[in-house]
Amino acid sequence: MLFLGALTIGMITGLQNVTTDLPSTGSDVTEVPESTERTSEMGLLETTKLSGSQVGDFVNVTIQEQPSMWELYLHHCPKWRPINHIFFQVANIFFLLSFLAPHTPSGLIWLRVALIIGCAFSGMWAWSVECYLDGVLWNSAFIVINFVYFSVHFYLMKPIKFHKDIEEVYVALFKPLRVSRRQFRRVLMCMRNVRHLKCHELYAHEKVTKVDSLSLVLSGKLVVSQNQRALHIVFPHHFLDSPEWFGVSTDEYFQVSIMAMEESRVLVWHRDKLKLSIMSDGFLQAVFDHILGRDVVHKLMQVSETMAVSNGHLPNSYEEGEDKPMLVVKKAGDGPGITALLNRQLQATDPNAWRLGRIEEADHETPV
């Protein structure tokens, strides 16, 4: 655009070479030829024609032959000035490098750094060589603006790290769905706390505890029961209250009891705060609906299997908090073995549970 502007100015300047002299009178002029020829200062031939008689007023009209556009620019610089200072050359080299920056996060850093260095050398050239105050001021403003953008981009590129347990949750559940660390950190800002549960400690009591949170098991195992009937076991990286996420308000109560089978750690979110946070982000909302929906399906499959093979119940001793083994041999009349089913669920994470399940099944099948 600057080149086109300079080209236009040159054209306008070239067209202004036709001049008109104002009329003049002179009684002392005796003879004036009808036409004369003279050579201008630029070496161009000019022809002057008279419009009146030898005596009287006359008007001089000068018609000048115009050079072509190419001749005008070819002879505009008959002699080139010496090459500029090294500061000028280095500044333009860094400007060139800034144009080659790739369209990536690191490329934005590259772009800003190259512009800062280029503007710095350009300002030094304007200050120490040409003594242009306006050049120094403009380049100083460019340096400040690019430094601000560089600081912002550098802060956004800083790696985000989580605690070991939180990192495992991110890698297992959220990273496969292309949730960025920055988005996951936004989700963690709605976290209430990380709750530590001792063995046989209740996390939620049936029809007593309100559904006001979303909980994810970080470590340990918890058993979900209803009316002292075991339904399923919740393992690490699974949610405790995923069914309540859909269509259950925070004023309602849990319809099941949740108790720790061993020392466990549970990540607890503020449920309403989390929903408000992801409401403005359709992607995060879809991610949570997918993860929690998949978790609900997994729990329904476990509950269906449990209800199909068992009508047993958990011993009262667990509600009282006694320190006894969680899975025990069922008494006569309790059904064909809730213990064996729960042990099959445990086999996914505990290889030793397979032996326990086989022994208990053998004891149950042994005739009296």
Find the CATH number of the domain harbouring 291: 2.60.120.10
Distance CA(196)–CA(218), nearest Å, equals 10
Same domain (yes/no): 143, 177: no
- Confidence at residue 332, expressed as pLDDT on a 0 to 100 scale: 38
Note whether residue 71 is domain-resident: no
| Helices vs strands, H then E, count in the chain | 12, 10
Distance CA(296)–CA(77), nearest Å, equals 81
Same domain (yes/no): 125, 218: no
Distance CA(275)–CA(218), nearest Å, equals 21
Note whether residue 351 is domain-resident: no
Same domain (yes/no): 170, 301: yes
Q: 112, 133, 158 — which closes off a domain?
A: 158
Note whether residue 23 is domain-resident: no
Note whether residue 57 is domain-resident: no
- Single-letter residue type at 174: F
Distance CA(298)–CA(290), nearest Å, equals 12
Tens digit of pLDDT at every position of the chain (368 positions): 555 665 565 555 554 543 434 344 444 444 444 444 454 444 444 455 545 554 455 555 555 566 666 666 666 777 778 888 999 999 999 999 999 999 888 899 999 999 999 999 999 999 999 899 999 999 999 999 999 999 999 888 888 888 898 999 999 999 999 999 989 999 999 998 999 999 989 999 988 998 889 999 999 999 998 888 888 889 999 999 888 888 788 788 888 999 999 999 999 999 989 999 998 899 999 999 999 999 999 888 888 877 766 554 444 444 444 443 334 333 333 444 445 555 655 555 554 444 444 434 444 444 43
Distance CA(219)–CA(299), nearest Å, equals 18
Burial 6-19 (b: 16+ CB within 10 A, else e): eeeeeeeeeeeeee
Same domain (yes/no): 182, 298: yes
Please give the tally of structural domains in the chain.
Answer: 2
Distance CA(143)–CA(166), nearest Å, equals 40
- Single-letter residue type at 23: P
Note whether residue 147 is domain-resident: yes
Q: 127, 142, 158 — which closes off a domain?
A: 158
- Confidence at residue 201, expressed as pLDDT on a 0 to 100 scale: 92
Same domain (yes/no): 259, 294: yes
Same domain (yes/no): 135, 201: no
- Single-letter residue type at 318: Y
- Confidence at residue 249, expressed as pLDDT on a 0 to 100 scale: 80
Same domain (yes/no): 137, 177: no
> Nearest 5°: phi and psi at 20?
-125, 125
Same domain (yes/no): 119, 215: no
Secondary structure of 303-368 in the HEC alphabet? HHHHHHHCCCCCCHHHHCCCCCCCCCCCCCCCCCCHHHHHHHHHCCCCCHHHHHHHHHHHHHHCCC
Predicted TM-score of the model (pTM): 0.56
Same domain (yes/no): 284, 228: yes
Q: 310, 340, 360 — which closes off a domain?
A: 310
Same domain (yes/no): 198, 305: yes
Note whether residue 130 is domain-resident: yes
Note whether residue 279 is domain-resident: yes
Tell me the residue range of the domain where 135 lies.
Answer: 82-158
Same domain (yes/no): 142, 271: no
Closest CA to 19 of 57, 86, 66, 52: 66
CA 247 to chain centre: 32
- Beta-carbon contacts of 4 under 8 Å, excluding residues fewer than 6 positions away, are none
Same domain (yes/no): 197, 299: yes
